Structure 1
Amino acid sequence: MSTKSTLNVIAAYDKVCAEKAELAQEGSNFAADRNAVARQIRKLHPKRLTLTVGEIIRETSTACSLRLLSDDGSPLPPFQAGQYINLFLTVDGVETARPFAISSAPQSRDYYDVTVRSVPGGFVSPYMVGEMFEGQILQSSGPMGSFYYNPLFHGGDLVFLAGGSGVAPAMSMIRDIINKKRPLNFHLIYGSRSTDDIIFRQQLQALAEQHDFLTVDEVISEPDADYTGHTGYLSAEMIQRLTGDVDGKMFYLCGPNAMYDFCKPELEKLGVPGRRVRIEANGPPPAPQKLTGWPQGLETSKEVTVTVRGRGQFKMPVGEPLLNAMERNGYQAENACRSGECSLCRVKVLSGDVFNPPQSHLRSSDRTFGWTHACVAFALSDIEILI
């Protein structure tokens, strides 16, 4: 199929080409409305949204979905199934932010559903699940992220490996496929500790019964005595048993960091090439000392001093992400993904040593000129930074 014939199947492509040709003939000096383009961009890609918690939907004993409404009742910005919004919160007096995948369908523009699971020992998720209330006003970014289905490159045979609240983008993708009637095969393999942890369990079972394109398999690591389904972990053997031949399949992976560390090598054992694996990062590494490049013998509890040029200084343990420590001490940096990908939280390291894990995705120029992604950076010594 030629490039032109491929583009012609995109909705409104021919119309846009015709309008472009007409504009090329007539021209425009934009005198009628010089700010029309800027306003349209802000409408589609706003820097900030004001949202109201319209409903709190309890999914499990440890998870809920927050239905977020536009503050003025207008349609919310469009998004691709699988993308996230970054919610700005104040927890225990600390101004912070966290990204949450949208679990509702892109066609439902009256609200965004974000699904959160309370993580034991977590800072933000217990607050989200246990303390938020209907009517609460929140600030968020617009929809962001590259973890979504691309019809030109991902093919029609999709396998989604999910864990915990990592099922949220999968649910959005499933709803999108149903609404668009896309001719795809979608296989969700959902790994959980117990059946009580499975978010959307009844909904997923019902959807799988109603739609031939959808297959849902649960894999439980700590099953009850009466559980008769798949047990264990998402190992290479388990994945192949459930999916069969992996050739030509596109794999999506979303869940806790420990799940990535386990599943990615398992997919490599099956011969799945990197270009056929889409990973949605989920926060900084919880144990940076276990990663290649961490100084031998350096305890994560060791304290170092961070000097913010012209603004003060604070102490932090070397095992804490730099951005978390900055926020805890009243220093803010723009951020979104908190996983090393978006680069919005870049700060310049003027002196001292910083550990950058592989997921930081630093550019060559960042390394050359001393920039780091604060959300996944760990200070190894006393450092001075410029925010």
Structure 2
Amino acid sequence: MSNIQVLNAVTGYQEIIQAKNALEQSGTDFSEYTGQIANIMQTLHPKRLNLVVVEIIQETVTTTTIRLASKHKNPLPAFQAGQYINLFLTIQGTYTARPYAIASSPSENQYYDLTIKKADGGFVSHYLVDQVVIGQEFQSSGPMGNFHHNPLFHGNDLVFLAGGSGSVPARSMLLNILDQNLQQRFHLIYLNSFENDVIYAEELRELARQYDHFTLTEIITRPTAQYQGETGRLSKERLTSLLGTSLENKMFYICGPTPFNQSCQQLLADLAVPAKRIRVEANGAPKTPHQQQHWPTEICLTQEVTVTVKGKGQFKTTVGEPLLNSLERNGYFVENACRSGECSLCRVKLISGQVFNPEEAHLRKSDRNFGWIYSCVAFPLTDIEVLI
């Protein structure tokens, strides 16, 4: 499919071209649009969306899809397949937020589907899966994120390595390809621990039967004795068997738990896949920061420290709790989105003390020079004072 065909498939593209041509003919100076730009930008890139739950779909024993529509019944902002929204909510008096990938197709502008799997020890995921009801209202950010499918530049041979709920952005990408009638090949290699916990299982299998350019490979890592499908884990040999030896022109997407992502990245590196052909979804703060390089060996995760918020108060926390989590738990809100050290919205100024910035913290040079830290992935190693 050519670039022009892709653009013509974009909702509103032809209307924009027609309006542009009409304005060129009239010779306008665009004064009639004075004051409208801010409204247009708010529509396309809103700071907050007011959403309401219109449907709840039980996917597996641990996973639920929450369908969210505009509270005011407006079309929702467009997004690219693979992007997320940041969902804001209050649980047991704590105001917090979590980023969730949009599972629905970008072609659908009346609702966003968020598919949420219970995380071990999860605070927010358990609430969303077990307690949310139809009619409940939420606020969210607009769509955002750099992990997405670009139909113009990502080529025609796409491979998605998904673990568990990593299938959520994969579903959005797949539906987008099918809805837009794109002929890009899409191979989903999907790993799960248990055969009864495969998200979208029947839908994905049916789509694989219907479309020749969609291939589904399911792998179960902890199968029962009765399971007849593929089992085990990914290896260089297995990937080569599934994909062939010519990998340099394929575009790879990786999404799953952090160890899964890291393992897949290493496998692809060992297979000499160029880094520019690999896109990895960030997945929150590290669970084991003390296992990373440069962690001070004399400090343990359970050590207690004091966090002082300049001019506002202080509280106790432990070294192993990300700073943003402890700030929220103690009533201090910091704007945030990815919670993975990428977007920089949650940055705060470190006035005194020492924090550990893990490899997930993509700090800019200017942030380092002027003492800014990304609170979502910063771990306080000593008593600290911050400005928020």
TM range (shorter): over 0.9
2:364 alignment counterpart: 363
Distance in structure 2 (CA, Å) of the matches to 1:75 and 1:6: 26
Aligned to 2:147: 147
Structure 2 residue 214 is matched with structure 1 residue 199:
no
**Residue 302 (str. 1) matches residue 299 (str. 2):** no
Q: How far does residue 333 in structure 1 lie from its aligned partner after superposition?
A: 0.5
- The question of whether the paired residues in 2 share the 8 Å contact of 1:162 and 1:253 is answered with yes
State the alpha-carbon separation in 2 of the partners of residues 108 and 65 from structure 1: 16
**2:328 maps to amino acid:** E
**Which residue is 2:336 aligned to?**
335
- TM-aligned CA deviation for residue 297 of structure 1: 3.0
1: CA distance, partners of 2:248 / 2:333: 45
Residues 8 and 14, structure 1, Cα contact 8 Å, conserved in 2: no
Residue 235 of structure 1, CA deviation? 2.6
Task: Report what 1:216 is aligned to.
Answer: 216
Normalised to the residue count of structure 1, the TM-score between the two structures is 0.94
Q: Structure 2 CA distance, aligned partners of 1:164 and 1:314?
A: 36
Q: List runs of 5+ in structure 1 lacking aligned partners.
A: none
Q: Supply the RMSD in Å over aligned alpha carbons.
A: 1.9
User: Could you say which residue in structure 1 is the equivalent of 2:292?
Assistant: 291
Where does residue 7 of structure 2 map in the other structure?
A: 10
Give the deviation of 1:64 after TM superposition: 0.6
Do the aligned partners of residues 25 and 75 (structure 1) sit closer, same or farther apart at CA in structure 2, a change above 3 Å counting?
closer
Q: Give the distance between the partners of 2:89 and 2:16, measured in 1 at CA.
A: 42
Q: How many residues matched?
A: 382
* Distance in 2, Cα, partners of 1:29 & 1:216: 50
Paired position in structure 2 for 1:122:
122
Provide the C-alpha distance between the structure 2 equivalents of 1:380 and 1:232, rounded to a whole number of angstroms. 39
User: C-alpha distance in 2, partners of 1:100/1:301?
Assistant: 29
**Aligned counterparts of 1:206 and 1:22: Cα–Cα separation in 2:** 47
Question: Aligned-pair distance for 1:237?
Answer: 2.5
- The whole-number CA distance in structure 2 between the counterparts of 1:248 and 1:176 is 21
Q: CA deviation at 1:167?
A: 0.5
Amino acid at match of 2:375: A
| Range with greater deviation from structure 2 (149-158 or 117-126) | 149-158
Aligned residue number for residue 266 of structure 2: 265
Please give the alpha-carbon distance, in whole angstroms, between the structure 1 residues aligned to 2:328 and 2:259: 25
How far the C-alpha of 1:238 sits from its partner, in A, is 2.3
Unaligned runs of 5+ in 2: none
Measured after TM superposition, the shift of residue 73 of structure 1 is 1.2
Deviation at 1:153, TM superposition (A): 2.6
Q: Which residue of the partner structure matches residue 175 of structure 2?
A: 175
1:377 maps to amino acid: A
> Contact 2:99–2:337 (CA<8 Å) still a contact in 1?
yes
Deviation at 1:327, TM superposition (A): 0.2
Q: Report the equivalent of 1:60.
A: 60
1:180-203 Cα deviation digits (max 9, x unpaired): 011100000111101112100000
Q: Give distance in 2, aligned partners of 1:17 and 1:333.
A: 43
1:262 positional shift: 1.9
Partner deviation per Cα, 1:49-98 (whole Å, 9 max, x = no partner): 11111111000000010010111111111111111111001112111000
Q: Which residue of 2 is the match for residue 256 of structure 1?
A: 257
Tell whether 2:379 aligns with 1:378. Answer: yes
CA contact (8 A) 2:248 2:274 kept: no
Please name the residue that 2:237 is paired with. 237
2:136 counterpart of 1:136: yes
Question: Does the 8 A contact of 1:60 with 1:199 survive in 2?
Answer: yes
Q: Please report the TM-score for the alignment, with normalisation by the length of structure 2.
A: 0.94
> What is the deviation of 1:119?
1.1
Amino acid at match of 1:188: L
User: 2:105 matched to which residue of 1?
Assistant: 105
